Amino acid sequence: MRTLGPVNIKQVAAEAGVSTQTVSRVINDRPDVSPDTRDRVQQVIERLAYQPNAVARSLIGRRTHTIGVVGSSLEYFGPSSTLAGVEKQSADSGFSLLLALLHEPATEDIGQVLTDMLSRRVEGLIWAVPEIAHNHRWIDDLARPAVPIVFLTMEPKPGLSVVSVANRTGGTLATEHLIAHGHRHIGIITGPLDWWESRERQLGWEEALVSAGLPVEARQIVEGDWSAASGERAFARLQEQFPEIDAMFASNDQMAQGVLHAAWTANIPIPQTLAVVGFDDIPEASYFIPPLTTIRQHSADLGRTAVLVLNDLIDQWRLTGRVATGEPVRLQPELVVRKSSVPQ
C-alpha cells in the first residue's frame, strides 16, 4: 500500500527489512550488496516510488570518488600497517586516496592540511595520526566539518567517529597470561607516555596486576621509545631497580626484541628465568629467538574498518546533505602464545 506524502529512505529500509546504509549502497550501485538484497531493495524503491532528495542528487553529480588520509609515524609497524589496510579497502570500495603525511604531528598547521584536502574535493577524511600529547586538541575547536571524518588511534570522544584498537584490553591480556603461568614480579616497558596507546597499554597491565592482588610500583616501570635499543636499555634499568623481576610486558615487539637480545647477552634463560610478551605481532615476531609471545592488534583491519565506516558516512551525507557521525568502533586484540613466555 502506497505511503502518503514523500517517501524517505527510512521507510524504504523498513519495508525492505534492511538498514538505511544498505539502501544507500543499492542507490549508489555499490558492489558490497548481495544480489538478493539488491533486488528486494530495488523492488521496494519502485513500489514506493522513492526518489533521493535534491541535495543528494546534487552531491551524486559532483562525485570525485576520492578520500583523504592524513597520517604520520609510518616508521612504526602499527601506523604503516594501518595505512596498508586503508589503501586495500579503498581500492576494493572504488575510492582513490589522497595522502598527506605529518612529520611533526604535534606542531604542524592542521588547519592548512584540512584546507588543502577540501580544496581537492575529497568526499571524506581518515585522520590516521596517533594521539600524541595534545596534538588532537584542535578537534575541540573544529566547527561542523564539511565532509565526514573518521579518526583512528585516539581516545573516543562524543560526536566523533573513532575507530581504534582496544589497547587497554591488550595490556590486560598480556599480563593475565604471565600471571596465569605463575609469574608474580612483572615489569613493563612502556612506549612513549605522551602517546595515548602507550598509556592505555600500561593501564591494562596495571589493572591485571591489581585484579590479581599483585603490587604496582614505580620501580616496575620504565619508559621506552618503541625502538629495540630502548627496550634493551629499559631492561637494564629494570634489572637494577626491580631485581626480582621474573616476567616482562614490552609495549611493542621491537622493544621486546631488545629485551630478548639483552637476556641472551647476559645468559638469562627465556622463558625459564624471564618470560617476555610483546605487542603488535609484527611479521618477524615468530622468528625471534625464542619466538615471541605477543598481542596481535590487527592494524590492517583497523585501516579497512575505517574505510568501511567512512563509506557509510559518505553515503548518508550524499543522501541527506548532513555530515553525521558513527558509533565508536573498538577492535579487539588477541594473545598469540609462543616460546618466549611458555616452555614448549
Domain boundaries along the sequence of the chain:
9-51, 65-165+300-331, 167-297
Beta bridge partners of 66: 96
**Residue 62: how many CB atoms within 10 A of its CB?**
9
Output the pTM of the full model: 0.80
CATH class of the region 9-51: mainly alpha
- Alpha-carbon distance of 276 to 286, in angstroms, equals 13
List the chain pLDDT tens, one digit each, 344 residues: 344 456 788 888 898 999 888 888 887 767 778 888 988 988 888 888 787 654 454 455 567 889 999 998 888 888 899 999 999 999 999 999 999 988 876 655 677 788 888 888 899 999 998 888 888 877 877 767 788 999 998 888 888 899 999 999 999 999 999 999 999 999 999 999 999 999 999 999 999 999 999 999 999 999 999 999 999 999 999 999 999 999 999 999 999 999 999 999 999 999 999 999 999 999 999 999 999 999 999 999 999 999 999 999 998 888 887 888 888 899 999 999 999 999 87
**Residue 13: how many CB atoms within 10 A of its CB?**
18
Do 150 and 309 form a contact (C-beta atoms < 8 A)?
A: yes
- Alpha-carbon distance of 248 to 255, in angstroms, equals 11
Tell me which of 3.40.50.2300, 3.40.190.10, 1.20.140.10, 3.40.50.1220 is the CATH number of domain 167-297.
Answer: 3.40.50.2300
Let me know if domain 65-165+300-331 sits in CATH 3.90.1150.10: no
Q: In this structure, are strands 186-190 and 247-250 parallel, antiparallel, or unpaired?
A: parallel
Residue type, 185: H
Q: Do the two domains 65-165+300-331 and 167-297 of this chain adopt the same fold?
A: yes
Phi-psi region of 281 (alpha: psi -120 to 50; beta: other; left: phi over 0): left
The order of strands in the sheet holding 124-128 is: 96-101, 66-71, 124-128, 149-152, 161-165, 329-331
